[in-house]
Amino acid sequence: MANAVQDFLQIIRVTFEPGYLTPRSLLVSGAALALLIRLVFKRPRPRYISNLDKVGRRVSSNTTARDEKWQYDIIIVGGGTSGCTLASRLSEDPNIRVLLLEAGGSGRALSDSRTPIGYGALFFSKYVYPFRTEPQAAANGKEKFWPRAKMLGGCSSINAQMAQYGAPGDFDQWASYAGDKSWAWSNFFRYFTKFEKFNPHPDYPLVDATVRGNSGPVNVGYFNTVTSASKAFVKACVEVNIPFTHDFNGPNGTLGVSRTVTYVDKKYRRVSSETAYLTPEVLARKNLTVAVNATVTRVLFETSEAGVPRAVGVEFANSDGSPRYQVRAKKEVIISGGAIHSPHILSLSGIGPAAHLQKHGIQVIKDLSGVGQNLVDHPVVDMYFKDKLNNSAKYLRPKSFLDRVKLTSAIVQYHILRIGGPLAMNFGESAAFIRSDDPHIFPSQIFPEKLLDSTSAKDSPDLELFCTPFAYKEHGRVFFDVDTFALHVYLLRPTSTGAVLLKSSNPWQLPSVNPNYLSTEEDVKKLVRGVRLCLQIARTKPLAPLLDHEFTRADLDHELHLKSDAELEALIRERVETVYHPTTTCRMGPNPENGDVVDSRLRVYGVEGLRVCDASIFPFIVSGHTAGACYAIAEKLADDMKAEYGSA
């Protein structure tokens, strides 16, 4: 209902602005009313529980969490990309009673989440945690905005829907580091095909569908709308010696340029872990409970017979000052809060660096030095160009009557005619994955310096380039006043790392986040090469004729290619931002003394009954986009746990 009203009001806003009441607006509003009626009466009602009295025991009540009513076999903390996957897969066994606790509400219920182009509008809303980093010492001391989703689906509900999974070498490196061959690409690959339902497209017949998943819950394909400039970007990349690839996730590996496969279904809707895994059929299971608006404040422990701490439940609440609730886990607690919230919850619960916990008055359950450490993120740099044809989608934030007409048309195409159109754009339409030491792209006579190889394998990339149909600043908060096009480069294998740390023992105070961007010279030098390449591509046919290189206004980058490396380095330090891929703060590995937090079965070292499953466990960040690996690790863990409990 809320989603339908939101769609209706959006159309009314753009058609009934003062001075724009016309017969066309009356016609469109009538169509909008029809849309409202259709959506209200056809909308499924998810089985989510917001009344926490129905989920757990109030801490102040006379009952006990040991009562059967408040006990579950497995408690999953966080309904993000991995959490929803786990809840769905584990509850396939009717003998396993599963509770999923999510701090936010439904992403499926938000129009800006379901509509591919709308997610940026959520960044500055109540549906996203408004993180800001610590001042970045190597990036002009700026605090950077770091949005993290607060809703079911997690960041799969607010990402750019680019379905690229990393490089095969990434997972071989994971297996080597963890000492467990089950994580090697040859073995782990099956979990990508398990979650995936690849939809072949007649325009891309050379994609080998036989190596892609065809029956998983997560639809991927070519249903997003792409612009002509995006297609020109692909051809321009080929002209500068980046090979064309048919499939970033295919048997030939990641390197090359292509249109991006997306998490967008054939009805032009976003596919998130919520929509894929928490279907009406799954939610109807009697052994699955999904509670929303339930923030976990700590994990509860008891001492086992062997004298080892054991996770026996969690405490949670709706908000600061509201009643606290407790539930118990007969088998295990799984933390799936993501790279920021998982180490935060562990720390609040007494799992982390002892001195840091004691500083905040938290009783130490287990001294694990790696909790919150090794934070790594993909740093991105944006470049802005004038669209020579004045054909961008800047009308999505309308400033004139013509803009409003175009936006109304886009809304009608998407919601009423259901043909996709501009609202089915995902922003990251095409991409290129390259190596910064590729002599065909960076010839030694121009780029003589040998850079540190931080890649996972000889055929793994360390830079990604991508294009967007218009430029923006401050994560979409600021648009340009002219039609634009943008190119972006980000570092896939940064050597700079940081940390997530407590600010206090108050669970409602967000933790400190410090990615420590650009703290190594290697990271800066590779990004300089990436910026140089983007500027070359912008001046290469067939993309060059689409950009107005005579438009030399200072806030656009048509003269940036004339700058020295030192000037580009200064620009990189000024512009660097997150591309929303933090990982590795609860690292999987063989040695807790070396900063590893979980073993290769994702069990937290030194305690029983507690695991972590999300991007925080990545031993090394993947050479691409993180959502696919988050789905795959959850699929693997669900299989492992069902095998342990005899229900595989």
User: Annotated binding site for FAD: which residue ranges?
Assistant: 81-82, 296
Is the residue at 588 inside a domain? yes
Same domain, 301 and 406: no
Same domain, 82 and 176: yes
Is the residue at 213 inside a domain? no
Structure confidence at residue 41 (pLDDT): 38
The amino acid at residue 323 is: P
Is the residue at 435 inside a domain? yes
| Residue of 622, 136, 541, 134 whose CA lies nearest to 377 | 622
Same domain, 553 and 469: yes
Structure confidence at residue 60 (pLDDT): 80
Structure confidence at residue 67 (pLDDT): 78
pLDDT tens digits for range 410-443: 999 999 999 999 999 999 999 999 999 999 999 9
Known catalytic residues? 581, 625
Same domain, 609 and 526: no
Cβ neighbours of residue 74 closer than 8 Å, sequence gap 6 or more: 90, 96, 97, 98, 99, 329, 331, 332, 333, 334, 641
Same domain, 470 and 415: no
Q: In the listed set 552, 575, 598, which residue is the last one of a domain according to the structure?
A: 575
Q: How would you classify residue 519: left for phi > 0, otherwise alpha for psi between -120 and 50, otherwise beta?
A: alpha
Same domain, 71 and 25: no
Q: Which residues of 518-535 are buried (b: 16+ CB within 10 A; e: fewer)?
A: bbbebbbbbbbbbbbbbb
Residue where the block lists tokens 């339409």:
429
Same domain, 23 and 64: no
CB 208 within 8 A of CB 247: yes
Is the residue at 217 inside a domain? no
Same domain, 30 and 73: no
Same domain, 255 and 285: no
| Helix/strand/coil for 311 | strand
Task: Kindly state the tokens that stand for 62.
Answer: 């006379």
Same domain, 477 and 542: yes
CATH code for position 553:
3.30.410.40
Is the residue at 50 inside a domain? no
Q: Name residues of the chain where pLDDT drops below 70.
A: 1-46, 61-66, 647-648
For 1, 129, 474, 528, the CA distances from 448, given in Å and listed in that order, are 60, 43, 35, 14
Residue where the block lists tokens 């895994």:
277
Same domain, 555 and 621: no
**Domain tally, the chain:** 4
Cβ neighbours of residue 564 closer than 8 Å, sequence gap 6 or more: none
| Helix/strand/coil for 464 | strand
Residue where the block lists tokens 């540190």:
452
Kindly report the pTM of this predicted structure.
0.93
What number of CA atoms fall less than 13 Å from residue 614's CA on the CB side?
31
Is the residue at 220 inside a domain? no
- Residue 479: Cβ-neighbour burial (10 angstroms; 0-12, 13-18, 19+): middle
Q: What is the enclosing helix (H) or strand (E) of 274?
A: helix 273-277
Full residue range of the structural domain in which residue 410 is found: 393-426
Same domain, 239 and 387: yes
Is the residue at 509 inside a domain? no
DSSP annotation string for 130-179: EEEPPPBTTTTTBPPEEEEE-BTTGGGGTS--B-----HHHHHHHHHHHT
Is the residue at 120 inside a domain? yes
